[in-house]
Amino acid sequence: MPSTVRLLTPETADPRTPVVVAARRTPIGTAGRALAGLDVVALATPVLRALVDDVGPVAQRPDTVDEVILGNCMGPGGDPARVAALAAGLGLAVPGLTVDRQCGSGLEAVNVGALRVLCGDRLVLAGGVESASTAPTRLALAPDGARVAYDRARFSPDEIGDPGMGEAADDLARERAISRLRQDEYAVRSHALAVANADAGRYRAELVPVGGVDRDERPRAGLDVATLGRFRPAFTPDGTATAGNSCGISDGCAAVALLDEATRRDLGLPGLAIRAVASAGVHPRLPGLGPVPAVQSVLSAAGLGWADVGAVELTEAFAAQVLACTDAWGLDPLGADGDRVCAQGGAIALGHPWGASGALLMVRLFSRMVREQGPRFGVAACAVGGGQGVALLVERVG
């Protein structure tokens, strides 16, 4: 059964309600390329500073931020959230917490931040950061006692099944009869939307340039299904997940500022009130289905259905995973629901900086719903290695 916290229903106005009032991110760089010289602190610090500037005087005095919470998967340890808070000049008294729920870490950080505000904090900065380029090189102990190059963390015990995420995406595509063609069509859509939105300047207000980089590196113009059809299976010999319809390994940071509703109202800031958060477990062999019960849980907690939700953001780790979830919800991102699901492009085009990707969904929702005065209700959700899902439901206010 999903673990769900209903913060407040849409009909309830309460001064404690956590509200996202600012959302910022770095450009997303392909690992080893544009942002390769920046570690997690160098990526996170300017984003935190930008959020403080966005919130205004209430946040600009030292020690007025109650907490900094950042998701991170592969970084150096040592609590990067605290180091980045200090580097950003937020004050010696501002604590930092680094959380790891793998690909859902950035969204989990926002969920934890929302609960902190509900419990009495006034201002929390929450999000995620990843630098695949500067992640430490690690060694693991082999069965014979030798030290070998570390591959990845274990997601599940062997007796249950511990597939890599690419292998699991291929299994999911077979399980749910998701064709290679649909996956490639979805990938073409992701790139086309990302390029169009960048060219139209829709990312400009959310971006914090770093290292001389002011534009996402990965999106490609002019991709078509014929081009992607030439890509070979990337993970299993007869699989349908390829480098073309899967995300890229990336560097970047994204974060949001959370205020309580009373302070938001006093400042006159528009935002996204967080109405419910949830986490759920599914079988580790099909982790891509994790968002399905998590999202259903937040909708049920708020008394809403899909007819109420105008914006849906999913981490596009693999096209097969996104399509499996939308199929389960009865949504068609390649057709009638194209203006709802990842309508400004997602991780297949932009990239997937693991610990930051969940927070990137919140930046997308903020841009679509607040900056552009879009739908009233929105959902963000991530699938997580090991068979988990994380979800969050927001309502536009102000």
pLDDT (tens digit, 9 = 90+) per residue, 162-189? Answer: 999 999 999 999 999 999 999 999 999 9
Residue 16's CB: how many other CB atoms inside 10 A? 14
Beta bridge partners of 130: 252
- The CA-based angle 70-375-67, given to 5 degrees, is 20
Whole-angstrom CA distances from 388 to 45, 152, 175 are 29, 17, 18
Check pLDDT > 80 for residue 140.
yes
Find, among 351, 333, 382, 308, the residue nearest to 102 by Cα: 382
Residue 381's CB: how many other CB atoms inside 10 A? 26
Q: How high is the pLDDT of residue 9?
A: 65
pLDDT tens, residue by residue, 281-291? 999 999 999 99
Residue 5: pLDDT band (50, 70, 90) is confident
How are beta strands 67-71 and 123-131 bridged, if at all?
Answer: parallel
Q: How high is the pLDDT of residue 227?
A: 97
Check pLDDT > 80 for residue 13.
no
Q: How high is the pLDDT of residue 11?
A: 66
CATH code of 3-134+247-397, in short, is: 3.40.47.10
Output the furthest CA–CA distance in the chain (Å, rounded): 64
d(C-alpha 184, C-alpha 94), whole Å: 46
Q: How high is the pLDDT of residue 34?
A: 96
Question: What average pLDDT does range 224-229 have in this prediction?
Answer: 98
Beta bridge partners of 390: 279, 382
How are beta strands 309-314 and 147-149 bridged, if at all?
Answer: unpaired
d(C-alpha 11, C-alpha 302), whole Å: 9
Half-sphere exposure of residue 147: CA atoms within 13 angstroms, side-chain side: 3
Residue 233 is encoded by which pair of tokens? 């299976």
User: Which are the catalytic amino acids?
Assistant: 103, 352
Q: How high is the pLDDT of residue 153?
A: 85
pLDDT tens, residue by residue, 232-273? 999 999 999 999 999 999 999 999 999 999 999 999 999 999
Q: How high is the pLDDT of residue 20?
A: 98
Q: How high is the pLDDT of residue 1?
A: 67
Which residue in this structure is represented by tokens 């599914």?
282
Q: How high is the pLDDT of residue 152?
A: 84
Judged by average pLDDT, the poorest of 34-43, 50-59, 73-82, 185-194 is 50-59
Question: What average pLDDT does range 62-73 have in this prediction?
Answer: 93
Average pLDDT, the chain: 95
Residue 263 is encoded by which pair of tokens? 């302070």
Encode the chain in three state secondary structure.
CCEEEECCCCCCCCCCCEEEEEEEECCCEECCCCCCCCCHHHHHHHHHHHHHHHHCHHHHCCCCCCEEEEECCCCCCCCHHHHHHHHCCCCCCCCEEEECECECHHHHHHHHHHHHHHCCCCEEEEEEEEECCCCCCCEEECCCCCEEECCCCCCCCCCCCCCCHHHHHHHHHHHCCCCHHHHHHHHHHHHHHHHHHHHCCCCCCCECCECCECCCCCCCCCCCHHHHCCCCECCCCCCCCECCCECCEEEEEEEEEEEEHHHHHHHCCCEEEEEEEEEEECCCCCHHHCHHHHHHHHHHHHCCCHHHEEEEEECCCEHHHHHHHHHHHCCCCCCCCCCCECCCCCHHHHCECHHHHHHHHHHHHHHHHHHCCCCCEEEEEEEECCCEEEEEEEEEEC
Q: In the chain, what percentage of residues exceed pLDDT 90?
A: 89
